[in-house]
Amino acid sequence: MGDFMDLDRHDFELDELVARIKENDNRLIALQVPEGLKMQALEMMDEIESETSAKVVLAADPCYGACDLVHDKMSMMGVELVAHMGHSQMNIDSGMPTQFIDVTYDGDPELTPILPFLEAHRNMAIKRKEDQNSKDDMSDEQAKERFLDAVGRLAPLSDTKLGLVGSIQHLHLLPEFHDRLEKAGFDVTIPIGGARLSFPGQVLGCNYSGDDPSIGHYLFLGSGDFHPIGLVLHTGKPLAMLDPYTGDAEEMSLERIERILRQRFGLIMSCGDAQSFGILIGEKPGQMRRSLALKMKRMLENHGKKGYLLALEHVGPDLIDFYPVDAFVNTACPRIAIDDAIRYRKPLITPFELEVALGEKKWETGYMFDEIP
């Protein structure tokens, strides 16, 4: 997911796409663009149609990530090639020729305003590393407190490096920022994640697999708080944000993360007595976690509870609130339960949270973010 602003300064790189269409002599292609770029889509369609002999269909449904490929629908329409813009390829097989088009932004923000945050966060990481005594023999109260603590929850730190990450349209800045930050006295690493991520330093709303114990704190290059919230919830590490669009420097507030954790805690507690659950399965190719959904159903049955499997492409309150169940477990996009929680009348929890509610997982491991590997 990403935010796009100041469109003139974006580079859409349509040349490769145009060359590929000409080479294959494609007649019908589909264009899929993220929400923030839809305003420009007609212009892009004009450009492609005037430079090639292909007709272009815009896949106009909402698109929030490369998890959301429209290939089946488009191939039924006779489309020969899909151009997917602004997201990088994931480890899912779409079964259709796809051109992934990077969108990069040429902003290059000043480093100075972010340095005080980074220094403070490094000190937090150093203190945390020094303080990491054995946390065995926790009382139930202490375990619940730990669950609610935004930092210092997860695996012990082996170092206090600065992890440099960004959203996709700013990743080209990372090597240069790595060097600048090293010059400013930081020990910097650009984390490399698993198969769902294409580039070093990349983060998705649902995958932070680059995190490792040598990283003590983070700098995120990008805008909006979508990725920062996920990264801090997932890692429990402090994070500073530098926005290449505006040059603004700030930090992800730990009070905010603790508020989210308290809300999650409340939802888990309120599911303790729930007898019947709707288990949501996402139909988008990169969100479909059928085995996980079936595992949740079995787990509920083992606890004498009921689970109904509900498959849907888009998840929203109007589409599920009316089912006569006590709560929902979401196995589609992990962010739905976290970011939209208050929009639902009934508790909507993640698979990890259901495991905690049923006593299969323990509070003292700390909050675990729902990741798609």
> Under the rule (CB under 6 A), what is the footprint of ligand SF4?
1, 64-65, 67, 204-206, 286-287, 333, 335, 372
For ligand SF4, which is the closer residue by CB, 363 or 369? Answer: 369
For ligand SF4, which is the closer residue by CB, 150 or 333? Answer: 333
Minimum gap (Å) between residue 206 Cβ and ligand SF4:
3
Beta carbons within 10 angstroms of residue 359's beta carbon: 9
For ligand SF4, which is the closer residue by CB, 161 or 196? Answer: 196
| Structural tokens at position 152 | 């210092």
Contact predicate 277/324, CB 8 Å: no
For ligand SF4, which is the closer residue by CB, 114 or 257? Answer: 257
**Alpha-carbon distance 160 to 110, whole Å?**
23
For ligand SF4, which is the closer residue by CB, 99 or 167? Answer: 167
Burial degree of 78 (CB within 10 A; 0-12, 13-18, 19+): exposed
For ligand SF4, which is the closer residue by CB, 152 or 201? Answer: 201
Minimum gap (Å) between residue 230 Cβ and ligand SF4:
8
Minimum gap (Å) between residue 128 Cβ and ligand SF4:
27
Crossing angle between the packed helical segments 140-148 and 254-271, to the nearest 10 degrees: 130
Minimum gap (Å) between residue 87 Cβ and ligand SF4:
7
Minimum gap (Å) between residue 287 Cβ and ligand SF4:
5
For ligand SF4, which is the closer residue by CB, 52 or 169? Answer: 169
Minimum gap (Å) between residue 80 Cβ and ligand SF4:
25
Minimum gap (Å) between residue 92 Cβ and ligand SF4:
10
Minimum gap (Å) between residue 145 Cβ and ligand SF4:
29
For ligand SF4, which is the closer residue by CB, 56 or 221? Answer: 221
For ligand SF4, which is the closer residue by CB, 206 or 354? Answer: 206
Minimum gap (Å) between residue 70 Cβ and ligand SF4:
13
